[in-house]
Every structure is written in C-alpha cells, then in structure tokens.
Amino acid sequence: MAIRMLYSKIYMDHKPPDAHPENPDRLKRVLNTLEKMELQINIEEPKVPESTDMYLARAHSIEYIDRIKDLSSKGRNLYIDPDTYIGEHTYKVARTAFAGSIYIVDMIYSGSSRIVFHLARPPGHHAGIYGRAMGAQTQGFCIFNNVAGSAFRALDLGYEPVIILDFDVHHGNGTQEIFWDIPEVYHIDIHDSSIYPFTGEISDLGGSNALGSKINIPMPPGSNDTDYLYIFSAIVAPIIKAVSPRIILVSAGFDAYEDEFMSYIKLSSRLYSFIGSMLSSILYDRELSVSGIAIVLEGGYRGGLEYGFRGFLEGLYRGYLDRNKGFIDDLIDHVSDLKAGANSNVINIGEKITRALRSYIDI
C-alpha cells in the first residue's frame, strides 16, 4: 500500500486577474517539492463522479452554484469580493476540485488505498452554504468547499462518525457552517485566533442536534511547535480516541509554516511531520477502526508548500512504515511533559476546550 496522490492540469486554469497569492504557481511549488523528494509516486487524474452536482447542492445553495457558473461563463476575470476572483475556467476548475474530493473517499472505500492526498485548488474551507460563511467579509480565495464533498460522500458510504481535521492557519468557517447541525461530522479546527475570518470560538460547539461535534482551537498569535504539540496531546488525540472515527478527512493548509505571511503562527517542518506521522499511525491503532485518511490541500503560499508539505508527507510515510500502534496513547500519556513546553495562554485555551466539551465527549 502506498500513499496515492491526485492532481489535474485543469487546476492551473483558475488564474487571477492580477498579482494574487492564490495562483497556479502554488501547485507548481507542490509538484516541484514532490519531484525533489523522488518518491516515485504516480500522480493520478481525479475522476468526476456522476454524483458531483448532487453533492455540490448538498454543500451549497443552488443560487450560489448557479451564480458561480454564470459569472464564470461570462469569460471575464473579476473579483466577487476583495479576496476572491473568478475567471472563465473557474466553474470547471472548482467543480473538478470538488469532484476529486468526493472521489478520494471512493478510493478509500474501494480498498485500493488508505491514504489519498488530493492536490487541489482553489481551496475550499472558507466557502459556506451561500458563499461567504458566518458573516465573513470575503470567501478567502475559496469557491466550492472541497472537504465538504468528501464528508457528504463519506456519510453516504456509511463512514460514521467522520472527523474533519483542519490545520490550515485560518478558521474553516465554511466547513463549520455546512456541518453545523450534522452530529456525525466532527470538525476539529486549529487556527490563529487573530486573523481572517475572525471566527472559530471555543463556544461554537455545533447546532442543537450536534452539540460537541464542532471543536475550535483558537491559537494565540505567536504560537509555535511546542504549543501545537501540547494541543495535539491534550485535545486532538483524546478527541480522536473518544470519537473513534471511521474515516479522517484533512483540510491540509500549510500557511502556519514559519516563512508564510498570513498569520502570526510559526510552525517548523518538524511539526507538520509530526501531524503526518500521527495520522498514518492512526491506521494501525488497534483500538480504533479508521478506514482511511483523505487529505485535501487548502492554503499555503510560500515555504509551507515546500518544507511544510514535505515534512507532512515524510511524516505520513514514517507513520506508515513504523506502524506505531500506540501513537495516540503515547501522545496522551505525554501530555504533562508537553504541557511544560507550552505557553500559559495555550494551556488555558486547552483547559477551556476540555471543560466545554466534557458534557458531550468523553475526554
């Protein structure tokens, strides 16, 4: 079994009208990084399942989908808000990115792979039901919510519960909005609390039918590797253990990497490597029954797409090769050591989250 990767040349056709951080060069960086790693990976073309439009309509309103289609068909390059642009190919590109994100769950279901990474753009986690999510000023470069396609497909295939782990440095407000009242979808979102879209509070626990399934981890600006390690051991690992997901979906953004410019969080490639190892080790955890890990690319604009991405992939491989069956338990056991390295504000946040969740999850 290997890690499978999906990418389509179509993703290069969504182009900004002027200089913009979310542009086709992002994927070129990722592909260059892969080439340098000499992994001998066969990059595959995503399929577009026949159910794509049905799933699009479950994630977004018909009016929104039609608006994107109409604007795109006009053939002009324009901004729909101060951050987000649409050009003549955008509808096709974004629909393919969404479709491929459905397809990666089918790949896991068929048993052909347990880890699939979809190198897609435009990103998706800020795209809500009607476009802008939770009162955000903009859609933050996102058109369709790719990981939402993965999650709805996973539910239809009987993978319950689902965990979406979003470690992009921005809050996945679109994902939270779409799954707000769906209790089978746990959304763990770790983000810089001080930046766009300025949402993702600890007290956002889900709608009345889904309380405790939405877990926000708003990190203070200045947080680093040791703060994240503590949060993974005190919050993320115990939740994974308590929820026991059948599948894990990942919104993988690399914009918290130390040379990136959109946040005040500075992570090294070692932390991304740790996350990768944790995820693939979960597949061998005897106490869990996770069928697979389906990963969708979100943000990352500079070195995150080289060193952060590389670290993450190396971690995925290492976790897979080591088959460390007790990774999650070890992590939980080390919580007090890791606490010693964390900032006191981060420790407070961790404790607040535990208190907020205790009535709903056994952590």
Which residues are marked as active site?
A: 126
Residues in contact with 62: Cβ distance below 8 Å, sequence separation at least 6, in sequence order:
none
DSSP 8-state secondary structure symbol assigned to residue 105? H
Stretch that binds Zn ion, among 31-39, 82-90, 95-103, 293-301 (CB under 5 A): 293-301
* Minimum distance of Zn ion from residue 254's CB (angstroms): 9
Stretch that binds Zn ion, among 93-101, 161-169, 211-219, 305-313 (CB under 5 A): 161-169
Nearer to Zn ion, 218 or 319 (CB): 218
Binding residue for Zn ion (CB under 5 A) from 168, 204, 227, 260?
A: 168
Burial class from Cβ neighbours inside 10 Å (0-12, 13-18, 19+) for residue 24 reads middle
Specify the DSSP element, H or E, that contains 251.
strand 247-252
Nearer to Zn ion, 189 or 255 (CB): 255
* Minimum distance of Zn ion from residue 255's CB (angstroms): 4
Binding residue for Zn ion (CB under 5 A) from 124, 149, 299, 304?
A: 299
Q: Determine the residue with CB nearest Zn ion.
A: 299
Binding residue for Zn ion (CB under 5 A) from 126, 153, 170, 302?
A: 170
Q: Which two tokens stand for residue 320?
A: 């897979």
In single-letter form, the type of residue at position 107 comes to: M
Nearest to 212 by CA among 166, 180, 168: 180
Binding residue for Zn ion (CB under 5 A) from 166, 204, 227, 255?
A: 255
For 28, phi then psi, to 5°, come to: -60, -40
Nearer to Zn ion, 14 or 170 (CB): 170
CA dihedral 32, 37, 39, 45 (to 10 degrees): -20
* Minimum distance of Zn ion from residue 27's CB (angstroms): 15
Strand order in the sheet with 292-297: 43-44, 3-6, 115-118, 292-297, 247-252, 162-166, 185-192, 214-219
Q: What is the footprint of Zn ion within residues 235-254 (CB under 5 A)?
A: 253
* Minimum distance of Zn ion from residue 268's CB (angstroms): 18
Stretch that binds Zn ion, among 1-9, 52-60, 104-112, 170-178 (CB under 5 A): 170-178
Q: Is 22 in the site for Zn ion (CB under 5 A)?
A: no
Task: Please state, as a whole number, how many other Cβ atoms lie within 10 Å of the Cβ of residue 147.
Answer: 34
Stretch that binds Zn ion, among 72-80, 162-170, 317-325, 336-344 (CB under 5 A): 162-170
Nearest to 217 by CA among 352, 363, 361, 359: 352
**Residues forming the site for Zn ion (CB under 5 A):** 168, 170, 253, 255, 299
